[in-house]
């Protein structure tokens, strides 16, 4: 498996694991919940970029 693909998948898995934690915190800590949701969205975006770069690299070579 390509290094970029592994990194991208790890970022995506971490984001999916953190998402329920943000939902569980929504009752008491509104700002922490919003921050955690934004952080998980950024992790998903970074993971997606790494996966796309891996696919582009694989097609070129």
pLDDT tens digits, one per residue of 23-45: 887 777 888 888 989 999 999 99
Calculate the average pLDDT of the chain: 89
**CA quadruple 14, 19, 20, 26: dihedral positive or negative?**
positive
The stretch 11-31 carries a mean pLDDT of 86
pLDDT top residue among 33 and 48:
48
Q: Which residues are within 8 A (CB) of 1 and not within 5 positions of it... i.e. 6 or more apart? A: none
Instruction: Note the pTM of the prediction, 2 decimals.
Output: 0.82
Domain definitions of the chain by residue range:
3-60
């Amino acid at each position: 498996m390509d290094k970029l693909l592994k990194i991208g998948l790890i970022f995506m898995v971490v984001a999916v694991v953190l998402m329920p934690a943000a939902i569980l915190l929504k009752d008491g800590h509104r700002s922490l919940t919003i921050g955690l949701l934004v952080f998980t969205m950024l992790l998903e975006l970074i993971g997606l970029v790494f996966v796309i770069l891996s696919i582009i690299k694989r097609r070129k070579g």
